[in-house]
Amino acid sequence: MHIEINGKNIEYTLTRRKGMKSIRIRLGEDGALCVSAPYGVSKAYIEDLIRKNIGSLEQGKKQTDEAHKRWEKFVQDKLREVPDWTVKRYGDDIVAGRPYEKGSVFNGLPLVTTQLEFQNMFWKAYKIFNADHPIFVTGVTLRKMKSRWGSCRPKAGRMTFNLLLLYVPEECARYVIYHELCHYLELNHSRHFWAHVAEYVPDYRRIEKEMNEYGRVLIDHCM
């Protein structure tokens, strides 16, 4: 399908889905415009919504792309500092250093290496999440936090994670990433929020209990 906006002919795909209650509009990584909508919503209404939101969609995608480029530049800069690293690319995913060891994300390598591994984990999870729920992330930071594992500012696109996540099992660190991404959809801990979390981490209740234990050991004793 095509729509004309400000004299520009824009192509988009429209998917109708049963059970949907709202319309989703997103720009894919290749810039393709994709719309998902419930049955019964008119094409005219959908195209009016596209016209109203295309500017913010394009700006948000630009900011996310720039954040990903800064991350890749950061990787390359660190590689020059640590000559014994090996780096491989698998599509858009950069894998730096040695593979994870069983258990903790922290695997005995220099701290900056584990931060790179965490960033790899984040952008991979973001790619999966963004395919279902179009959001924009402009920056990801790891720092010491005294009372929480992560935080986010959806309006600014900023996400911050506790540096101590490098010392918990990989599945726990990945859960925290999805937990914070889901706060882009619900800024609370309602049943709707946990339903979103369950889409990506079905056994989140078990991991929540583990994270409480890690919190008592790590946050309480390492800060």
Read off the tokens for 107. Answer: 């695997």
Please give the mean pLDDT across all residues of the chain: 79
What is the per-residue pLDDT for 142? Answer: 86
Spatial CB neighbours of 68, under 8 Å, sequence gap ≥ 6: 123
- Are 21 and 38 in contact by the 8 Å Cβ rule? The answer is yes
Indicate whether 222 pLDDT > 70: no
Q: What is the average pLDDT across 168-197?
A: 93
What is the per-residue pLDDT for 150? Answer: 95
Closest CA to 50 of 4, 89, 96: 4
Separation in Å, CA 81 to CA 57, 73, 84, 140: 37, 13, 9, 21
Q: What's the pLDDT band for 194 if we cut at 50, 70, 90?
A: very high
CA of residue 190 relative to chain centroid, distance:
20
Beta bridge partners, 27, equal 33
What is the per-residue pLDDT for 170? Answer: 83
- Are 203 and 151 in contact by the 8 Å Cβ rule? The answer is no
Residue identified by tokens 């004299």 is: 7
Instruction: State the DSSP string of 141-183.
Output: EEE--SS-SEEEETTTTEEEEEGGGGGSBHHHHHHHHHHHHHT
- 210-219 tens-digit pLDDT: 898 888 766 6
- Are 47 and 1 in contact by the 8 Å Cβ rule? The answer is no
- Greatest CA separation for the chain: 61
Quickly list H helices, the chain: 43-81, 111-132, 170-182, 191-200, 204-214, 220-222
Q: Give the percent of the chain with pLDDT over 70.
A: 78
Spatial CB neighbours of 192, under 8 Å, sequence gap ≥ 6: 185, 186
What is the per-residue pLDDT for 220? Answer: 58
Indicate whether 128 pLDDT > 50: yes
Q: What is the average pLDDT across 48-66?
A: 86
Beta bridge partners, 163, equal none
Question: In whole angstroms, what is the distance from residue 210 CA to residue 132 CA?
Answer: 27
Q: What is the average pLDDT across 84-112?
A: 44
Read off the tokens for 152. Answer: 């986010």
Indicate whether 118 pLDDT > 80: yes
